[in-house]
Amino acid sequence: MHVLFTPRFPLDVVAKPRSDIPEYAYCAYQAAKGRYMQHVPLAAYHNQADIEDWHENIAWLLAAHDAGLDVHILDRITPLPERAQDIKPLISLSRPFDPNRPFALFGPQPLRARLTTSAIDGQSWPSPAGAAAANRYASNPAFQRHAGRQVQLCDVEGTGLNGKVVHSGQPSEITHALENWAAAGPVDALIKNVFQPKYGPLYPVELPAGAHPVACKQAVYDALSYDLLDLEGRTQALLLQGRIEMRDEYRIFVIGGRVVTGAGCIERHTPWDRIPGETFDPQMENLRGSGGIRVDRARAKLYRQFAERIVPELMAEDPELRDFSLDLAVNADGAPLIIELNPVATSGLYACRIEKLVGAIRDQHAYNRIAAA
């Protein structure tokens, strides 16, 4: 299998590593930089390169090369053509690109915009159908069972582009849903746009018990403001969820239904920050972005076991769900829950074991070819 790799930054850019990290991590960052510069001799340090973004991107490149895959570096600006024979790599790390062989797409834009819309002729990973399945996680009954909080998938009042009308009185319409929630007690909730994955923030909504329908409608307008314009008449566009305490956020990667690797959702971490020997990195940050990082192997084990138990349920509810990242947390009582799912190709790596992830993608591709023969 070929790998078509898109760099996040210009090829002559190399990010400087931090100095305030453990020695094993500093050595890993230096080694990654050195290996990249062997493949791209013109590269040099550039202060403007974001450390995490640059190294996470390069981790995909180096892991693919280490996995024995034929890696081809593309221009980061030019959109990919529809036909494989029209693809022109800038650099091939091993054999020349063969448009007649299947390939995987690693890297950010301009590839990312295509992932949930259409496949390029010859593309074997990621699957657009699989990415779409991960993005529609909110409608998956297994997610709803294991969300650990009150959740409801909601429509938005108005007339959609397809002419379909969503009325405010429908039980699944967002303002009507808030009325029902308020009828049961005070509302402290967050609204997530699940129609456009990774678009916009979480929108907070607070209402008193028994809130009037007009107040519920105004709360939606106040929270989403002009973002509502893109959602009018959309069904299952918003996820209404009760606000609860979530701690120790953790990302698990699943390939072909197999739990492969995982790491804490620590923004400053890349695969080079992984504690050596760990496949499910045990570094945790109590509250995301707080900086209070600790090692907790018991928590990492809890997440791995929880993922292994619920992944079959998630996949049974949606047969197109195969490869995805699974974001987990614990509530105030220490019980694990699902935050969300995302396509692997658009997920941050954190301190996962990238070689395990890429190896699983390679092996799953080989299995799929045998099964299809």
For residue 286, the model assigns a pLDDT of 93
What is d(CA 270, CA 280) in angstroms, rounded to the nearest whole number? 13
**E-strand stretches of 107-213:** 123-125, 151-154, 158-159, 165-166, 187-193, 203-207
CATH number for the domain running over 245-372 = 3.30.470
144 vs 19: CA distance, rounded Å: 43
What pLDDT was estimated at residue 330? Answer: 98
| Prediction pTM value | 0.92
User: How many of the other CB atoms lie within 10 Å of CB of 362?
Assistant: 20
What's the CA gap between 343 and 326, in Å, rounded? 9
Q: Over its length of 373 residues, how does the chain's per-residue pLDDT go in tens digits?
A: 899 999 999 888 888 877 889 999 999 999 999 999 888 877 777 767 888 999 999 999 999 999 999 999 998 888 778 788 888 999 999 889 998 888 899 987 554 444 444 566 667 788 888 989 999 999 999 999 999 999 999 999 876 655 566 666 677 899 999 999 999 999 999 999 998 877 778 999 999 999 999 999 999 999 998 888 888 888 899 999 999 999 999 999 999 999 999 999 999 999 999 999 999 999 999 998 888 899 999 999 999 999 999 999 999 999 999 999 999 999 999 999 999 999 999 899 999 999 999 999 999 887 666 555 5
pLDDT at position 78: 81
CATH code 3.30.470 region(s) in the chain: 245-372
Q: Give me the half-sphere count of Cα atoms (radius 13 Å) on the Cβ side of residue 160.
A: 14
Instruction: Return the pLDDT at 117.
Output: 46
pLDDT at position 112 is 42
Beta carbons within 10 angstroms of residue 40's beta carbon: 19
Nearest to 194 by CA among 242, 142, 156: 156
Give the pLDDT confidence score for residue 291 in this predicted structure.
83
For residues 170 and 158, give the distance between their C-alpha atoms in angstroms, rounded to a whole number.
12
